[in-house]
Amino acid sequence: MRRQILGAVLVLWLATPAWAAPFDQQHTAWDTLLKAHVVVAADGHSSRVDYAGFKADHAALTAYLAGLSAVTDSAYTGWTAPQRLAFLINAYNAFTVSLILTQYPDVKSIKDLGALFSSPWRKVFFTLRDQQHSLDDIEHRMIRAPDAFNEPRIHFAVVCASIGCPMLRNEAYVADRLDAQLEDGMRRFLADRSRNRFDAASGTLQVSRLFDWYDGDFTKGLHGFNSVAGTLAKFADELADDAAARAAIKAGTVPITFLDYNWNLNDTAAAP
Query: Is residue 11 scored above 90 in pLDDT?
Result: no
Domain count within the chain: 1
Query: Is residue 108 scored above 80 in pLDDT?
Result: yes
Instruction: Decide if 227 is inside a domain.
Output: no
Instruction: Decide if 110 is inside a domain.
Output: yes
pLDDT of residue 118: 81
Domain that includes residue 156, residue range: 25-193
Instruction: Decide if 269 is inside a domain.
Output: no
Instruction: Decide if 237 is inside a domain.
Output: no
Instruction: Decide if 212 is inside a domain.
Output: no
More confident residue, 271 or 207: 207
Residue 214, CA distances (Å) to 139, 156, 210, 236 in order: 12, 12, 6, 20
Residue ranges of the alpha helices (H) in 159-220?
Answer: 178-190, 210-213
Instruction: Decide if 231 is inside a domain.
Output: no
Q: Pick the range with the lowest mean pLDDT from 4-8, 100-104, 264-268.
A: 4-8
pLDDT of residue 271: 65
| Enclosing H/E stretch for 7 | helix 2-15
pLDDT per position as a tens digit, 26-66: 999 999 999 999 999 999 999 999 999 999 999 999 999 99
Handedness of CA 163, 169, 174, 177 (dihedral sign): negative
pLDDT per position as a tens digit, 125-160: 999 999 999 999 999 999 999 989 999 999 999 999
Cis status of the peptide bond prior to 105, with omega within 30 of 0: yes
Instruction: Decide if 205 is inside a domain.
Output: no
Instruction: Decide if 139 is inside a domain.
Output: yes
